[in-house]
Amino acid sequence: MIVPGASSQALAAALTDELGESLAAVTYDRFPDGETYAAVPAFDADRAVIVAATDTNDAWVELLQLQDAVREAGATEVVTVIPYMGYARQDEAFETGAPVSARAMARAVSTGADRVVLVNPHERSVTDFFDAHVTVCDAAGRLAEPLPEDLAEPLFLAPDAGALSLAESTCASYGDGEADYFEKTRYSGTDVEITPSDADTEGRDVVIVDDIVATGSTMSQAIAHLRNDGAARVFAACIHPILARNARTKLERAGVERIVGTDTVERDVSAVSVAPIVAAAVDAVEAN
Ligand code: R5P
């Protein structure tokens, strides 16, 4: 039985096709004092596969509620798929007294999960925070699918060295072009400085590939540099299209040709589904 969190209903539906399992009729509600309530109807499956992006605090709480609810409903095995793991970037105490929020979230989720599946967590090391078995999926190759087939001398650029492997995977999956990266310095939340790569961009179509577009500061700066340097079309591709606040506007004003993302976070730019790779991971977990 596939059990959708409120923010992952389309991905959960796509997974039912991939896994040949039915979709639970989850209800989501809210009490007058603001507390959330997520419940499942009675079901007869032994295994519950909960699919819930934790892009908001409510989504985290709903996930914990669904884990508890499926056990109450009789599930004996709970697989928890977190297509986008919020708080994953808070993976160390950056100053005295700061929480390691990713660890706190991972521990909480582990109490209700037999197994966990993550899609491109910000750092793979976040898996160490879970007490449950974790499988990680890489969706970067999927980002090639919605791109036009006629990219001119395509260059796949990561906004920082850490994202180079994503750009390389997307490039390999596209089957043409080369991959490179910018140097990035982040001074504070939205204060980011991007230093252009040495790659020749004049007249070329460029695809910037990153794991997350959150405030859009990183991506919009990269786009602006490329446009100034004479690049042809500039595409923004990301696994997790959070697009918080005015991120979309920043990218449009910077001159983006098109934004493409996956459905780990369900937005109008979610042009490709991670369902096939998540299904494979769930099955692989099953085989272990
Ligand atoms: C940071 O290391 C990540 O890979 C992304 O580049 C970052 O999270 C994007 O954030 P924003 O859109 O706020 O610049």
* 184 part of the active site: yes
Amino acid, res. 26:
V
Among protein residues, the one with the nearest Cα to ligand 1's atom 5 is: 212
218 Cα nearest atom in ligand 1: 14
Model confidence, pTM: 0.94
Q: How far apart are CA 281 and CA 287, in angstroms?
A: 10
Residue 42: the pLDDT is 81
Residues having CB closer than 6 A to ligand 1 are: 159, 162-163, 192, 210-219
**2 near 24, Cβ under 8 Å?**
yes
User: How large is the angle between the packed helices 275-287 and 9-19, nearest 10 degrees?
Assistant: 60
Which of 103, 122, 142, 184 does the annotation list as catalytic?
184
Give me the numbers of helices (H) and strands (E) for the chain, helices first please.
7, 15
pLDDT of residue 171: 98
CA–CA gap between residue 187 and residue 190 (Å, rounded): 8
Residue 131 is given by DSSP the state: S
Strands of 115-119's sheet in order across: 2-4, 47-51, 77-82, 115-119, 133-137
Q: Compute, in angstroms, the gap from residue 186 CA to the centroid of ligand 1.
A: 9
- What is the rounded radius of gyration, in angstroms, for the C-alpha atoms of the chain? 20
Strand (E) positions, 104-197?
115-119, 133-137, 155-158, 178-181, 183-186, 192-195
Atom of ligand 1 nearest to the CA of 217: 14
- At residue 285, the pLDDT reads 55
pLDDT at 288: 52
Tell me what pLDDT residue 15 has: 98
Which residue's CA lies nearest to atom 3 of ligand 1? 212
**Mutate which of 124, 209, 211 to test ligand 1's pocket (most atoms within 8 Å of Cβ)?**
211
pLDDT, tens digit, 9 for 90 and up, residues 46-90 = 999 999 999 999 999 999 999 999 999 999 999 999 999 999 999
Tell how far the Cα of 44 is from the centroid of ligand 1, in angstroms: 42
Per-residue pLDDT tens over the stretch 219-252: 999 999 999 999 999 999 999 999 999 999 999 9
Query: What is residue 286's predicted lDDT score, i.e. its pLDDT?
Result: 54
Per-residue pLDDT of the chain (288 residues; tens, 9 = 90+): 999 999 999 999 999 999 999 999 999 999 999 999 999 988 788 999 999 999 999 999 999 999 999 999 999 999 999 999 999 999 999 999 999 999 999 999 999 999 999 999 999 999 999 999 999 999 999 999 999 999 999 999 999 999 999 999 999 999 999 999 988 777 776 777 777 777 889 999 999 999 999 999 999 999 999 999 999 999 999 999 999 999 999 999 999 999 999 999 999 999 999 999 999 999 885 555
Query: Which amino acid residue places its CA nearest to atom 10 of ligand 1?
Result: 214
End-to-end CA, the chain = 19
Tokens 């706190």 found at: 104
Residue 218 Cα to ligand 1 midpoint, Å, equals 6
- CA-190 nearest atom, ligand 1: 13
Whole-number Å distance, alpha carbon 153 to ligand 1 midpoint, is 26
Identify which of 184, 218, 225 to mutate to test ligand 1's pocket (most ligand atoms within 8 A of the CB).
218
* Nearest atom, ligand 1, residue 242 CA: 12
Q: What is the pLDDT of residue 136?
A: 98
- Taking alpha carbons only, the member of 23, 33, 22, 82 closest to residue 56 is 82
